[in-house]
Structure formats: C-alpha cells, structure tokens
Amino acid sequence: MWLLLPFVVLPIIEIALFIQVGGVIGVLPVIALVLASAVGGVAIMRRQGARAAQDVQRAMQDFTDPARPMAHGALRMIGAVLMVVPGLFTSALGLLLQVPPLRDLILRRMAARVRVSGTGFGHGPGAGFGADYPSGRRRDEGVIDGEYSVQDDPPAPVREGLTDQSENAAPRRGNSGWTQH
C-alpha cells in the first residue's frame, strides 16, 4: 500500500502545480520551464558519471572513505533523473538535490537511521564475527595444514606400468585404460 502512495499522490501534486503556475505565468512559460529542466537534468547526468568516478578515485588516492563521494554522486544522479521527469514538483526536488549542503543534511539523516549488524560465527542477538571466541581468538577446528609439491610425469618405464595395456594386445578404443570396451 505504501509503495503505491507516491504513484497516486505525485501526479495529483504535479497537475495542481501545472494549473496554479500556468494560471500565474502562462502555459508557454510553464512548458519552457519543464523543457529547460529536462535539458538541465540530461546535462547533469552526462557530466555526473565522470565526476563521480573522479571523486571516488581521489578519495581512494587520499586513503579516505569513498562512501561519501559515492553517496553524493548517487544523490546528484537521482536529482538529475527527477529533473528529467516532466513536472514542476519533481524538477524542484531534483534541483534541491544538486545543492551540496542539502545533500550533506540528507546523508547525515540517512546515516543516523542506519543500524549496522554483523553476521558471522555466532548465532543469536549480538553474535558477530568472532563473538563465540574469547579474547578475539579464532577456533581452527577442522583445519589441516599441509604441504604439496608439483611433480612432472614419471619416467617412461614407470608410466607404461600404470596402464592395463600390454605390448602384445591390440589397442582399444579410448586408450585410457580406465574403461572396458
């Protein structure tokens, strides 16, 4: 039910704004505003992809968290998409998402609502990675350490004794020695 609410309310808001703003400034200026918003949204989307990649790359080079530039880039892209959608209300929301302090405010509010929980070795509430093991030690049950070495094919006399074919027998189809024909 809650997912359908924006699809019902948003068109009503857009129609009401078209009627109100069109009555004040006229029909042609409203159409020009919607078209200008769409062109601006497309321009922002085209520029945003490269800019977001540069921001994330810069954050990685500075050894800082790339989540902030990624989140800002995502909000800028959402704003650009809202500007492309025909309507005055969605265009206004899209323009607001292009303002950096407002994006910061939105991201802070979203971060305050996020709850991080770990899943790992333990079961039940509060069990995260290493929760079952005192003092942060891991239990290594079932782990077997071993070494291996790569060996080439054995010499020819040994290799010939591995198959069930003898020199007198006619070669069989397949020649693997693993199948009977």
In a domain, 142, yes or no: no
Confidence of residue 29 (pLDDT cuts 50, 70, 90): very high
The string over 141-174, giving b where at least 16 C-beta atoms fall within 10 Å of a residue's C-beta and e elsewhere, is: eeeeeeeeeeeeeeeeeeeeeeeeeeeeeeeeee
In a domain, 128, yes or no: no
In a domain, 177, yes or no: no
Q: Collapsing DSSP states into helix, strand and coil, what is residue 126? A: coil
Count: domains in the chain = 1
In a domain, 121, yes or no: no
Q: Collapsing DSSP states into helix, strand and coil, what is residue 30? A: helix
Residue pLDDT, tens place only, 77-115: 999 999 999 999 999 999 999 999 999 999 999 888 888
Q: Cα–Cα distance between 158 and 123 in angstroms, integer? A: 54
Residue pLDDT, tens place only, 166-175: 555 555 555 5
Residue pLDDT, tens place only, 31-87: 999 999 999 999 999 998 788 888 888 888 888 888 888 899 999 999 999 999 999
Q: Mean pLDDT for the chain?
A: 79
Q: What is the predicted pLDDT for the residue at 24?
A: 95
Q: What is the predicted pLDDT for the residue at 171?
A: 54
Q: What is the predicted pLDDT for the residue at 63?
A: 86
In a domain, 20, yes or no: yes
Range of the domain at 67: 16-112
In a domain, 154, yes or no: no
136: alpha, beta or left? (left if phi > 0; alpha if psi -120 to 50): left
Tally of residues, the chain: 181
Closest C-alpha to 91, from 42, 22, 23, 25? 42
In a domain, 143, yes or no: no
Least confident of 128-132, 156-160, 175-179: 128-132
Q: Cα–Cα distance between 37 and 96 in angstroms, integer? A: 12
Contacts of 80 (CB under 8 A, 6+ apart): 41, 42, 44, 45, 48, 94, 98
Long-range contacts of 93-99 (CB under 8 A, 24+ apart): 94/37, 94/41, 95/37, 98/44
Q: Cα–Cα distance between 16 and 10 in angstroms, integer? A: 10
In a domain, 101, yes or no: yes
Q: What is the predicted pLDDT for the residue at 81?
A: 95
